[in-house]
Structure 1
């Protein structure tokens, strides 16, 4: 069994089989590990094209077949797969959103860069806020704009031009 994608029939109902468990959100499928003689488990969220988590699975007592899935193992796998997705989302958010604070005391200005990864026309929005959160300026920039303390200070010192450098 090499297919690790969920089948359409497992999405509609809860399944509790030794090598296939499914609930209303996730499917766990035990598959033969192509790299060795062992087994792997693939956790796929319903509706996703790829598994969120693929990892090694324990051999059964006969040292030939996989250990059967059970309630505790399935819940642990769901928790782990959700954590993997959460970390991925946090990493993506960090890649697309950056900010620096410049200035002294009550004159501190927070300059943020938010990248919009549009497939046809990606861009970024550069914005400045004072410490109270009041928007001071906003400009559309290239998604490759490098936000740093120096580039933020230059944008502020030049009066927030619409086309910052």
Structure 2
């Protein structure tokens, strides 16, 4: 096994090696991410773009600090890179949580003195998106389900009407 620290005292992979990670002042790779310091098109400052490996677009673009000469950007370093990875990962996690909340909804509704849990799972098919409604009794048993429009608005009122209709398609 090769000891990278002994071959390269700065512990920076040699960019000439095939598949080696780049760790330079304006480009830094590692942990499945690439940080690129870029000229901010809107003013004279600089920005940093964080791109997750395999993704076409940056997960995060934010302002970057000017260097001491007030002309060039501050160089990337390992500590700044790790902070940027943490921030970009959090942005992606929040986006995934928001998508999860949009695609998977649940609520409880009382109908004829029985409390039902109603779920709606949206299937975001590009050509024909749809939703699956399901109702569960207090024991957790499935008592009704139907495929409906992805645009169906699940509310306490709409869920109660659906249950009262005998679980017919509400669309």
TM bucket normalised to smaller: 0.7 to 0.9
2:99 pairs, out of 78, 86, 92, with 92
| Superposed counterparts of 1:39-50, under 5 Å | 39-50=46-57
Residues 120-157 of structure 1, C-alpha deviations (whole Å, 9 max, x = no match): 11110001112332211110001111111111111111
Q: Which residue of 1 aligns with 2:85?
A: 78
Report matched runs for 1:1-165 at 5 Å: 12-103=19-110, 107-161=114-168, 163-165=169-171
C-alpha distance in structure 2 between counterparts of 1:20 and 1:158, whole Å: 60
Structure 1 pair 130–13 and aligned structure 2 pair: CA distance change class (3 A): farther
Q: TM-score, normalised by structure 1?
A: 0.88
Deviations 1:35-89, CA, capped at 9 Å, x for gaps: 0110000000000010000000000011011001111100000000000001111
Give the secondary structure class of the aligned counterpart of 1:16. coil
Q: Give the aligned length.
A: 154
Once the two structures are TM-superposed, the CA of residue 98 in structure 1 deviates from its matched residue by: 1.6
Please list every run of 5 or more consecutive structure 1 residues that lacks an aligned counterpart in the other structure.
1-8
Aligned-pair CA distance for 1:24: 4.3
Q: Conserved in 2, the CA contact under 8 Å of 1:13 and 1:23?
A: no
Contact map agreement 1:13 1:22 (CA 8 A) in 2: no
Gap runs ≥5 in structure 2: 1-15
The residue that corresponds to 2:5 in the other structure is none
Q: Which has the larger radius of gyration?
A: 2
Between stretches 32-41 and 88-97, larger displacement belongs to 88-97
2: CA distance, partners of 1:85 / 1:140: 30
Preserved CA contact (<8 Å) 1:126 1:140: yes
